[in-house]
Amino acid sequence: MLRSRRSNLAVPGSSPKMLDKAKGLPADQVFMDIEDAVAPLAKPDARKNIVAALNEGGYEGKVRVVRVNDWTTQWTYADVVEVVEGAGANLDCIMLPKVQTADQVVALDLLLTQIEKSNGLEVGRIGIEAQIENALGLINIDAIAQASPRVETLIFGPADFMASINMKSLVVGEQPPGYDVGDAYHYILMRILMAARAYDKQAIDGPYLAIKDLDGYKRVAGRSAALGFDGKWVLHPDQVAAANEVFSPRQEDYDHAELILDAYDYYTSAAGGAKGAVMLGDEMIDEASRKMALVISAKGRAAGMARTTTFEPPSA
């Protein structure tokens, strides 16, 4: 079953206080950062703080992720070795930022396999989250998605991406004067989404940096949720509830999806008349309706939603 990742909380590994605070926040995923939120001189301590926090525990129910530095730096191998040797059993995924080629995912996969083998960890359990943050990464996204069975998510990194393609605006998700940036992001978001759906990965939208502007957050999150994205980063506790709400189906949509699944099951069965297209109330449902309902139902179930209606077969 797919792990719910509506809200992906970024926590700098340099801050034991924030690592601790993350335990009490209702985020679906917490990712502890050793990359861009941590200054070069603070990276060695960040690794140690993260190992200690993971081993201490308290993140139950959350996907536990560590973002290492990208392969063009000198830090990646030591990030991975220290964190996975130190806390591999208490860690779910490594996030690899600025992925540009499939080889970079393969390199991480090989390194993880070695560390797992030599430390008695289950081989292949730790997943990879690939952050797409530049033009080359986006162009290679299909190969990146398929580079290892460990890849679980494809993540948009809007800040680095805007820099990479020379985008004029400096505010993620906002419009520079005279141009509809909604359109500019659309291609990138859809490209990531197509790769995610083609290869059965989760599509995650990145940060919204104006952390005081909750309406702006909801608007930008609403856009990627409407397209089909599974979740978005949160940089501040206030954004957690917004992400959980925006990326969950509405209760009525979830109930309706479960109803369609039950009704369709019944009507296609011998007892229900083995029909392929039937009326559910005023709505015609068929196999394609079932597929749409499956998506909503999976998101609702993964988010722990409970249905409030049941399907009653018509009495003969």
> Can you give the binding site for ligand GLV, defined by CB under 6 A?
97, 133, 157-160, 206-207
**CB of 91 vs ligand GLV, minimal distance in Å:** 19
Q: Which does 127 bind (CB under 5 to 8 A by kind): ligand GLV, Mg ion, none?
A: none
Instruction: Give the pairing type, strands 278-280 and 283-285.
Output: antiparallel
Burial of 282 (0-12, 13-18, 19+ CB in 10 A): exposed
Nearer to Mg ion, 114 or 134 (CB): 134
Residue type at 56 in one-letter notation: E
Q: What are phi and psi of 304, to 5 degrees?
A: 80, 20
CB 206 to ligand GLV: min, Å: 4
Residue 12 partner contact from ligand GLV, Mg ion, none using kind-dependent CB cut-offs of 5 to 8 Å? none
158 binds, among ligand GLV, Mg ion, none (CB under 5 to 8 A by kind): ligand GLV
Smallest distance from Mg ion to CB 164, Å = 10
Collapsing DSSP to helix, strand or coil, 279 comes out as strand
* Binding-site partner at residue 302 among Mg ion, ligand GLV, none, CB < 5 to 8 Å by type: none
260-289 mask for Mg ion (x: CB under 5 A)?
A: ------------------------------
Q: Which of residues 21-60 bind Mg ion (CB under 5 A)?
A: none
Type and span of the H or E element at 193:
helix 181-198
In the complex, least distance from residue 223 CB atom to Mg ion, rounded to whole angstroms: 19
- The answer to whether 84 and 112 are in contact (CB under 8 A) is yes
Q: Which two tokens stand for residue 201?
A: 């990965």
> Which is nearer to Mg ion, 160 or 258 (by Cβ)?
160
Report in angstroms how near the CB of residue 270 gets to ligand GLV at its nearest.
53
In this complex, which beta carbon is closest to ligand GLV, that of residue 109 or of residue 160?
Answer: 160
**Nearest distance from C-beta of residue 137 to Mg ion, angstroms:** 11
Contact 305, 251 (CB under 8 A): yes
Choose, by CB under 5 A, the member of 109, 116, 160, 255 that binds Mg ion: 160
Please state the three-class secondary structure of 149-189 as a single string.
CCEEEEEECHHHHHHHCCCCCCCCCCCCCCCCHHHHHHHHH
3-state secondary structure of 276: coil
CB nearer ligand GLV, residue 168 or residue 250:
168
Q: What's the rounded Cα separation, in Å, for the pair 60 and 158?
A: 29
Query: What does the alpha-carbon distance between residue 100 and residue 4 come to, in Å, rounded to a whole number?
Result: 26
The site partner of 109 among Mg ion, ligand GLV, none (C-beta below 5 to 8 Å per kind) is none
Instruction: Tell me if residue 312 falls in helix, strand or coil.
Output: coil
Sites of contact with Mg ion (CB under 5 A) = 133, 157, 160
